[in-house]
Amino acid sequence: MTEAPLLSVRNLKQHYPVTKGLLGREVERVRAVDGVDFDLRPGETLGLVGESGCGKSTVAETTLRLEDPTDGAIRFDGEDVAGYEGDALKEYRRRVQLVFQDPNATFDPRMSVGEAVGEPLLIHGMGDPDRRRAIVEDLLERVGLSAGDADRYPHEFSGGQKQRIALARSLVLDPDLLVADEPVSGLDVSVQASVLELMGDLQETFDLSILFISHDMSVVREFCDRVAVMYLGEIVERGPVEAVFEDPQHPYTRALMDAIPDLGTRDGPPPEPLSGDVPDPADPPDGCRFHTRCPAVIPPEDLDLDRAVWRAVYDFRLALERHSFDREALAERVGATDDETLRTGARETFDVPAELSDPDAESAVSTAIDALLAGDEEAAVDRLGAAFVSPCERTEPKPVGVDRKRDAACLRLEDRVEVEAD
């Protein structure tokens, strides 16, 4: 590692306690960000991708100290930011700027564009309105608008133009780092390209570092040097953008890549998407947070089942642990009440085959189903819980280096277990 990183985040956590009652007793905590590490080098663009609710926007706000983190260290240019107050904080807020997603909400409708772009200058003490005006007009020209636009109001501009104005505003204080939170997500496709091109030019000309947050992987692929993939408050994979996208190492990254519609014709139908929804960040799964949906979840050592079948059986066990078994609903569904049909029906609901190839697994499943039909849910859960334990639910994976430039947090990498290609 040659150059020291401009921004260095370690073990960043942002928890939101949910309280109840007058005394504010904490009932649960939403773990929006739960231990995030990354570095951003000078002049680099780091992409932070993930689905909604993964915590990436929270990372942006916490990095800028728009919210104070629950835990963790944020170092900017070598210094710890968490302790900044007063003037030091203000200087930090000059050197690091934020660009938002929604160009419509990011401007005060009562202020002209010139006033909006010049506002940061005013905040940082430039009292002379003529001087501010000159700087603003010059900057507007450089983002593809004209000096005369300074007197117009935000609603007179298109989405793409507003985003250019937002970029101008973010540059006016001559920052070192831009945090761009979904900067092109609200724009038309053809407009995205020109705003991205502008951002790229500005970055090059003014030697900016950019933390680029997006859910759109194609945009990240186009624009960023490196990328970090987030899931449920944690970073699961990190590395140069092409490497990560071409050859993802973490099953979640792979699922994301598979889900991106490909413009060209695939050979055959698109791969099966991930099932289920992202779990509640207030109650994240134990061990590896992705284990509840991971197509590559590690089976117990001596289990001999097809990967898809193992996943189905595992889902069966997890579902029973979370929700109670409703015999009547099942009966209604299969249209019968006799045990035999119910047994098959229960298996079908979870895509578990009628007979499993592994005899131990088969006995566990059928015993559990019998227990369910007999009304003893606890026994069923215990039986399945004993037979189908994955190391992924026990241990939280730590990032493992895939090569010198990338890492991913997956137990399969630690065990050097072969990750099956789909």
Partner 1 sequence: MTGAETTDEPLFRSVDWENETGRTWSPSPSTWFALAGLAAIGLLFAYDLLVVPPNQPVVGGWDAPIIDWLLLVSLVLFFGYALLPLASQDRTRRRLWAQVRNRPAVAASVAWLVVVLLLGTVGYAILGKPTKHLTIPYQPPAFLTRDPFLPGRCVGAVVGGQCHGTLQHPLGTNVYGEDVAKLIVSGMRVAVTLSLVTATILVSIATLVGTVAGFVGGRVDAILTGYVDFQRTVPAFLVYVIFAFVTKPSLLVLIVVFGFLNWGGIAHVVRSEVKAVREAGYVRAARSAGAGRLHVLRHHVLPNVSGGIAVATTRQIATLILIEAAISYLELNDVMVRSWGEIAASGMGQWFPLNWWVVAGPGLALVFTVVAVSVVGDAIRDVFDPRGVP
Partner 2 sequence: MTGDALLSVEDLTVEFDTTQGTIRAIEEVTFAVHPGETVCLVGESGSGKTVAGETLTRLIPTPPGRVVDGSVTFDGQDLTAASERELRSIRGNRIAHVFQNPQNALDPAYTVGDQVAETIELHRDDPNAHERAIELLDRVDLPRPATAAGKYPHELSGGVKQRVVIAAALAADPDLLIADEPTTALDVVTQAQILRLLADLQAERDLSVLFVTHDLGVVSEVADRVVVVYAGRVMERGPVEDVLEDPAHPYTRALIASLPGRGESMEPLRGSFPDPVDRPDGCLFHPRCPHAVEECRETVPPEHDVLRSRYAGESATPNRSAACVYYGENHDSAELDRGEHDATEIPAEREGDSP
**Total residues interacting with partner 1, rule: CB under 8 A:** 53
Out of partner 2, partner 1, none, what residue 155 binds, judged by CB under 5 to 8 A for its kind, is partner 1
For residue 309, count CB atoms less than 10 angstroms from its CB and return exposed for 0-12, middle for 13-18, buried for 19 or more: middle
141: contact with partner 1 by CB under 8 A: yes
102: contact with partner 2 by CB under 8 A: no
223: contact with partner 2 by CB under 8 A: yes
What is the DSSP-derived secondary structure letter of residue 85? -
Residues 288-317 within binding reach of partner 1 (CB under 8 A):
none
17: contact with partner 1 by CB under 8 A: no
CB 73 within 8 A of CB 10: yes
Rounded to whole angstroms, the Cα distance separating 294 from 129 reads 57
Distance of CA 229 to the CA centre of its chain: 6
Out of partner 1, partner 2, none, what residue 51 binds, judged by CB under 5 to 8 A for its kind, is partner 2
Rounded to whole angstroms, the Cα distance separating 295 from 39 reads 29
Shortest distance (Å) from residue 102 CB to partner 1 = 6
Residue from 65, 114, 72 nearest 94 by CA: 65
108: contact with partner 1 by CB under 8 A: yes
Residues 46-75: x where in contact with partner 1 by CB under 8 A, - otherwise, as a string: ------------------x-x---------
Out of partner 2, partner 1, none, what residue 390 binds, judged by CB under 5 to 8 A for its kind, is none
Rounded to whole angstroms, the Cα distance separating 240 from 220 reads 11
Out of partner 1, partner 2, none, what residue 262 binds, judged by CB under 5 to 8 A for its kind, is partner 2
State the Cα torsion 22-23-27-29 to the nearest 10°: 110
CB 278 within 8 A of CB 232: yes
| Residue 238 tokens, joined | 């990190």
| Residue 28 tokens, joined | 């649960």
Rounded to whole angstroms, the Cα distance separating 243 from 306 reads 29
Residues 142-161 within binding reach of partner 1 (CB under 8 A):
142-144, 153, 155
Shortest distance (Å) from residue 96 CB to partner 1 = 8
What is the DSSP-derived secondary structure letter of residue 172? T
Out of partner 1, partner 2, none, what residue 134 binds, judged by CB under 5 to 8 A for its kind, is partner 1
319: contact with partner 2 by CB under 8 A: yes
Shortest distance (Å) from residue 148 CB to partner 1 = 15
Instruction: Give the CA count within 13 Å in the CB-facing half-sphere of 330.
Output: 21
334: contact with partner 2 by CB under 8 A: no
State the Cα torsion 351-356-357-363 to the nearest 10°: 150
Residues 193-222 within binding reach of partner 2 (CB under 8 A):
193-194, 196-197, 215-222
Q: Which residues bind partner 2 (CB under 8 A)?
A: 51-52, 144-145, 158-161, 164, 188-194, 196-197, 215-223, 255-256, 258-265, 270, 272-278, 319, 323, 326, 329, 332-333
